[in-house]
Amino acid sequence: MKRAAILGTGSCLPKRTLTNAELEKMVETSDEWITVRTGIKERRIAGAGEETSKLASGAARKAMAMAGVGAEEIGLIIVGTMTCEKVMPSCACLVQKEIGAVNAFALDINAACSGFLYGMDVAEKYIKADPALKVLVIGAENLSARTNWEDRSTCILFGDGAGAVVMGGGEGERGILGSRLFADGSLWHLLHMDAAPSLNPDLVPVDYHGPFIRMAGQEVFKYAVRAMQDGVVKVLAQEDVAPESVKLVIPHQANIRILNSLTGRLGISAEKIYINVHKYGNTSAASMPIALDEANREGRLQPGDLVLFCAFGGGFTWGAAVMRW
Ligand code: COA
């Protein structure tokens, strides 16, 4: 049976860059504090014409061009997002219209920062059932719209952007070897974002503080480190892959300290962990496909390489996947 492989990658970032120096003028913070605690130097902020579905469509077009797959050939569109400009229809339906993928069915996945990893896993199941199917898996976010710009503990962390892959049945040994996904909804309160207030007055929560990302930073940090490590250990054991045979790790880009913690206990050397969090901050579901596209275009991936993906996000959700490129 053919494995589900990545046939092309693409990404699309807003034009505007917001630097740490600019943030220093907005809240009481410093470039040094942000750099030491997070590794982030700047992030992109969406403007007019750069809504989530537009960024997603831009990334999708680039991935399709690389894969040599036309819009009519796409059979399924999956978008990992929690910040589409519309609640209905789905971001995936907006992308379908934008790129003209008239033969696709379309759905969103909300698994916060794990949305792209969850999306790849769902795509894999469809492709195993029909290896001729071409699936667009996209991660796209406009987190700046849900950031409280007066809260220095969160506003320094997030950014906007989109990344995409085209997946389909791979040649030979190429494709996803295996994946492991997890969730723990009992910890939702540590990292969450309320929806817009209910129009039913009886259903407005008493503790509603606006539709912003809220986070217990230190607890999230500790859990993220443990969970990402646990996901990686489990998927490598499941697929009988030695850590040292992994060629490149594409992790969710939340924080440089979380990424550095992946090296020590896992036996994966630091230079194998792809990092671009300094340029874009945490773009949630978009961060892994943006990182993958940059690594791919930089020539960091060669046929046959073992690539490891790992993510953690609100929910909590987390997991890991291993793929032969
Ligand atoms: N600039 C300067 N000082 C800041 C600040 C900022 N942007 N944000 C918070 N501080 C202050 C706090 O008010 C606190 O001050 P106090 O000691 O006077 O009370 C101090 O810095 C330490 O705050 P704390 O929250 O303990 O910092 P931290 O070391 O935990 O770092 C995070 C904060 C958010 C960087 C860190 O907890 C983190 O990375 N968490 C994970 C976040 C994440 O990745 N979430 C998404 C997962 S998908």
- Per-domain residue ranges of the chain: 4-172, 176-324
- Select the more confidently predicted residue: 23 or 265: 23
Over pLDDT 70: what percentage of the chain?
Answer: 100
Average pLDDT over residues 20-37: 97
- Select the more confidently predicted residue: 201 or 145: 145
3-state SS, residue 21:
helix
CA of 153 to the centre of ligand 1 (A): 5
Q: Is 259 in the pocket of ligand 1 (CB under 6 A)?
A: no
CA of 108 to the centre of ligand 1 (A): 31
The answer, yes or no, to whether residue 161 has pLDDT greater than 80, is yes
At 98 the pLDDT is 98
Flag whether the pTM goes above 0.85.
yes
User: What tokens were used for 291?
Assistant: 């990182």
Q: What is the Cα–Cα distance from 190 to 203, expressed in whole angstroms? A: 22
Classify residue 264 as exposed, middle or buried by CB count within 10 Å of its CB (0-12, 13-18, 19+).
exposed
Over pLDDT 90: what percentage of the chain?
Answer: 91
Ligand 1: which atom is nearest the Cα of residue 155?
7
At 199 the pLDDT is 87
Q: What is the Cα–Cα distance from 65 to 126, expressed in whole angstroms? A: 22
Average pLDDT of every residue of the chain: 96
DSSP category for residue 102: T
Q: Is 7 in the pocket of ligand 1 (CB under 6 A)?
A: no
3-state SS, residue 282:
strand
Which of 37, 110, 146, 149 should be mutated for ligand 1, with most atoms under 8 A from CB? 37
Q: Is 224 in the pocket of ligand 1 (CB under 6 A)?
A: yes
The answer, yes or no, to whether residue 264 has pLDDT greater than 80, is no
Q: What is the Cα–Cα distance from 89 to 230, expressed in whole angstroms? A: 35
Active site residues: 113, 252, 282
Ligand 1: which atom is nearest the Cα of residue 220?
41
- With beta carbons less than 8 A apart as the criterion, state whether 1 and 128 touch: yes
The answer, yes or no, to whether residue 167 has pLDDT greater than 80, is yes
The answer, yes or no, to whether residue 117 has pLDDT greater than 90, is yes
- Closest residue (by CA) to atom 14 of ligand 1? 153
Q: How many CB atoms lie within 10 A of CB 281?
A: 30
**What's at 80, amino acid-wise?**
G
Average pLDDT over residues 8-26: 98
Residue 24 confidence class, pLDDT cut points 50, 70, 90: very high
- CATH class given for the domain over 4-172: alpha beta
What would the pLDDT profile of 94-116 be if each residue is shown by its tens digit? 999 999 999 999 999 999 999 99
Ligand 1: which atom is nearest the Cα of residue 112?
48
At 15 the pLDDT is 98
The answer, yes or no, to whether residue 298 has pLDDT greater than 80, is yes
At 261 the pLDDT is 86
- Establish whether the linkage from the previous residue to 197 is cis, with ω within 30° of 0: no
Q: Does domain 176-324 have CATH number 3.40.47.10?
A: yes
What would the pLDDT profile of 210-260 be if each residue is shown by its tens digit? 899 999 999 999 999 999 999 999 999 999 999 999 999 999 999 999 999
Q: Is 220 in the pocket of ligand 1 (CB under 6 A)?
A: yes
Average pLDDT over residues 294-305: 97
The answer, yes or no, to whether residue 42 has pLDDT greater than 90, is yes
What would the pLDDT profile of 176-192 be if each residue is shown by its tens digit? 999 999 999 999 999 99
